[in-house]
Structure 1
Amino acid sequence: MHPFRQAVEARDEAAIEALLADDVVFTSPVAFKPYPGKPITAAILRAVMRVFEDFRYIREIPDVAEPSGRDHALVFEATVAGKKITGCDFLHLDDDGKIDDFMVMVRPLSGATALAEAMAAQFERITEEASAAVAAEEPSS
């Protein structure tokens, strides 16, 4: 089992964040532009944990053609605002084994729409959490 899957299933936010590379890029299924950086990606993943109900991974697909084992696909099911969704987390690992590319896809459209609405309601909090994390990392003068 992939360590990210273990962390998510344990709902261990600290472990999830620890698996992210500082320069991770998160590509959302409902936003046009990717989100670069660990603070925003961690904040988005915390929000997802708040809006997904009955979340469970149902399949883990390693890239058998890639001997380095850097690409993983984790298929999941969840409910958002009463809509059942199926999705996939596509993870790419850097040389240190940290997630440096994280793309999510979901279906059906009604579920993606419900997810977009639920995440839009979380976005002010996501932005505040990411900004606080960045401020905490900055050296004080």
Structure 2
Amino acid sequence: MTNYTHILVSLDLSDESQQVLDRAVTLAKANNAKLSLVHVVEPLTFAYGGDIPVDLTDIQEQLQTQATEQLATLAKPHNIPADAQNIQVGQPVAEIHDLADQLGADLIVVGSHGRKGLALLLGSTANGVLHGAKRDVLAVRVQD
């Protein structure tokens, strides 16, 4: 089995993110691998389809600032440097794949809630990352 050299951890900044990060930190230590974090902020125009005649720039910037702060809070106990903390704006699956390519990551770690029924049919970020990946993906089952 090949050792991983660079692990990209995708975090949704929910309460369960710590579980995902803990698993990734353990893997990084076991493999002596570099660890990078990513959180993707979806543009508000995606959610509203541009139908709202309001400038959402300030709100989008606030969301990005909050995400940056939350990611830094998660990274601090593990001494993950600021340059390994990535906030991307866009469609999560595409942004995660693109960043993994840019960084040369050989493993992507994502959280999975193990959804069933309609949620499973509609898909999830973890499912999208898994099915479009050019590298290994570890889906960490989180406890709600």
TM-score tier by shorter-chain length is: under 0.3
Structure 1 or 2: more helix by fraction: 2
Tell me the TM-score normalized by structure 2. Answer: 0.25
Which structure carries more relative contact order (alpha carbon 8 Å, separation 6+)? Answer: 2
